[in-house]
Every structure is written in C-alpha cells, then in structure tokens.
Structure 1
C-alpha cells in the first residue's frame, strides 16, 4: 500500500506542478507526518523539491514517450540491432515496453519463425505485418503515456509460459538498486517476466546507468546479458566481470 500511495502522490504532484502539504493530506486522506515521509522519499529520488508549506515538481522528471524516442536514437537502434541477432528460430521471447526494445524487430529476418509475448503497443504494431511471428499480448489496460498495456487479472497465466529470452527495458540502472521503473503496474509485469525467463537481456543506453527510480523490479545480478553503449561507468564493467554477466556494447 505504501509503494502504491507514493506512486500516486508522485503522479499527482507531477500533474499539479506545485501543491501544499495540507492539500496532499486531504487528497490522500493521510496524516501530515505520513505525507512528509512520502515527500522525503520522492525528494531523494529527484522527483520534487520542497518549498515552504508544500512541494514543487522537478521539471522534466518524466520525459514524454515521444521525446524519449528521439533521445539517443542512433544508440537505441544499434543496441536493438545487436539484440535482434540473439533471436533464433522457434524462440519464445518477451519484448518489454520501451523506446529501445520497441525497435528490436526492425532488424529481424522476415523468414524467422518465433513467438513474441509483449505489453508494448509499438511491438504489437510491428508484429502485425510479420506473418511468421506468433503474438501473445500481456496486459488488459492501455497506458498512453508509455504506449504499453498494464494490469494482469490472472498472474498465473504469465508463469505458465516457458519464456526463453526476455528483452527488458529500465528507466534507471544501478548496482545498488538494480533495474528500476516508476509505474507500479508495469513493475509487476516486469518482475514476473524476469523471474520466469531463462535468459534476461537488458537493453539500455549509457544515459540510464547510475540512475534509479521508485521501484526495483530486478537486481542487476539477475541479468544474463547487458546490451549497451561503450560509455557506461567503469564500475559496471567490473561488476559484470565479477557476476559473470555478458556485456555487449555498440561500436
């Protein structure tokens, strides 16, 4: 309940821009001590800054999906191209929602036969024109901000699939907090997929490292392969060597 409330508080503050602590208490029906703890947590994560009697949202905390698609476009395409070579005939894979993972199928041979599970609208649209790919959609509610489907009524359904490879995205990546995102419903799907998949591939450009957001859906050591740009911090290269994580970088 606490994590869900903090997510709701964060979203509300982002929508309002600025708001008093008294109004937050009224909206969420909690004490001022509780809302102060929530605000302190969000301040640590860089979501907001405190002002006298209230809070102000930090500008551009959540970059719109359209803008994130444009940012680091060439790097994202190169990462996705490397990831596409890892898909083999008759694979059962999961493709996460995200601006890098959504490009994964662009470099795939049209003659390759495999099955895709996804909650990404962009992936669904791509698969629609690829007759050799079987599509399984996860999520029963559409979230326009991230172009993804969220919410799973029967969570056991996901665990029934023998997912061989999961190609995952993350809002932030850190050694201490692992793979993170900010949406509670997306978090649940990501967490279940990582726990079920035989091999987990993280697709993330260098700008995502040494950052973390509200929710950790997997520790970094759970990843089998990281596909990224060459500019990631040295400590992550060392971490991958120590943990036996395969590190693939673009040129």
Structure 2
C-alpha cells in the first residue's frame, strides 16, 4: 500500500470510528507499528489529526484564530450561550473565559441581572460595557492574540485573589479519555487556575469540539462539573460523560 493510500485509509478510519489505534491498524494492514506511527506524525504535522498515546484522535477545528472561529457552528454557539447565561444567579461572582461561545453567553445575560463577571478576555469585557447591572473585573497579563485573552504569570497571580461561584470554560477539544484540551500551554495553565478558584466549572461544548483533541491538556473530565451541548448531539457521543460524574445540559 502506497503512503498516500495508507494516509487516506487512516483518515477514513478516524472519520468513521473517531479514533485510530496504531497497533490494531498495523495488524489490519499487515504493516509495522513504526510505519503507522510515521504516517500519524506526518498527518499531525499537516493538522489533520491529533496524536495521542497509542494512536490518534480528530484534530479540533476550533484551533483556528478568533476571527476564524466566529464562523463555526454559530447557531449552536448561540443556543449554548443562552443556556449558560440562564445558569447565572443574581449576586454571583462568575469567571467567564474568552472565546466565541462565551461571547454568546454574555450577549444573552438579561438586563436586570446583577452579578460580577471576572474575565481575562478583553472581548468579553467590551461586550459587557453597556450592561447596566454587571460589574466587570478584567484580569491582565500578556495578550495571547490568537484567542484574545491574557495569559502568563501575572494573570495566574491575579486569578488567585478571587473565589468564583462558577466558571464557564471554553476549550478546543473534549474527549472522555484525553480530557479537556486546548492549543496553547499558557492558555491551558490560565484555564486550570480559573477552574481551581471556582466552586463549579461548566464547559461550553459546541459540536466541533466533542471527540476532538488538541495538544495541551487542561484538566481530566472528572475535575469539572458540567457540559453544555447543542441539541441534536448524538446520545452515543455523550454516553461516557455522565459516567465520569459530569452533568450534561442540552441547549
């Protein structure tokens, strides 16, 4: 089998089953595991999959920059944002992550809601400028331009001074085994800090992120409390999450 044929087969298996196991595929094709791993490395370098221990998972399309992500699954993000906004109670202190789905969250906050939103995202802060009753606290740091959020030691130090009731987390990959992932190590560190200083962490899970993986692990699934997913998400896709103790809300 030629290299391009092997790669096409790998991508077809990944699309059909949601994962590639190198050992199984090498046995199926009567090839060495080294050959399959080399193909996986090359496909990962092209951004076509995410290598994990023993094989590969789909690469998340949510790794595009902020402007590129605005065009992905817009209706689903609006529904998820609306459901997340409805979870916030008057008087709460809330961490809101950066991202296109969390923008939808703050756009759906009712005008009568009084609460404090703490964010490291200038985009989120600007969205709330005209909200009459929301107090906004902006966490500073080095601007990570790809996601338009503050990262670095100063951001993590500032986060440690807060105790939030709830944290709405954005990610680029969600997988029951790999956990919650994103495309930058410093961004992952900030998300971990936010989660650890909140009583509850809820992940906003638009469809393109489910079953996908990115290079940097934020947290395992058992360290969050809930997922908000789009209506129409297949039951078999979601079956593993309640088993990990994660509550699933359908938007």
TM bucket normalised to smaller: 0.7 to 0.9
**1:200 counterpart residue number:** 201
**2:108 counterpart residue number:** 107
**1:92 counterpart residue number:** 93
SS at match of 1:70: coil
- The alignment of Structure 1 onto Structure 2 pairs a total of residues equal to 203
CA distance in 1, matches of 2:62, 2:100: 17
Give the superposition deviation at 1:233: 5.0
Give the superposition deviation at 1:89: 0.6
CA contact (8 A) 1:92 1:115 kept: yes
Give the superposition deviation at 1:235: 4.6
CA distance in 2, matches of 1:72, 1:241: 24
The two structures have a TM-score, normalised by structure 2, of 0.73
Is 1:142 matched up with 2:143? yes
Measured at CA, do residues 227 and 154 of structure 1 come closer, stay the same or move farther in structure 2, by a change above 3 Å? closer
CA distance in 1, matches of 2:168, 2:235: 23
Structure 2 gaps, min length 5: 1-36, 48-58
**1:189 counterpart residue number:** 190
CA distance in 2, matches of 1:178, 1:122: 26
Q: Relative CO higher for 1 or 2, CA cutoff 8 Å, sep ≥ 6?
A: 2
Give the superposition deviation at 1:206: 1.5
Give the superposition deviation at 1:224: 1.0
**1:223 counterpart residue number:** 224
Deviations 1:72-121 (A, max 9, x none): 10110000000000011111001111110121111111121111111112
Measured at CA, do residues 44 and 180 of structure 1 come closer, stay the same or move farther in structure 2, by a change above 3 Å? farther
The two structures have a TM-score, normalised by structure 1, of 0.73
CA distance in 2, matches of 1:154, 1:106: 24
Structure 1 moving runs of 4+ over 6 Å: none
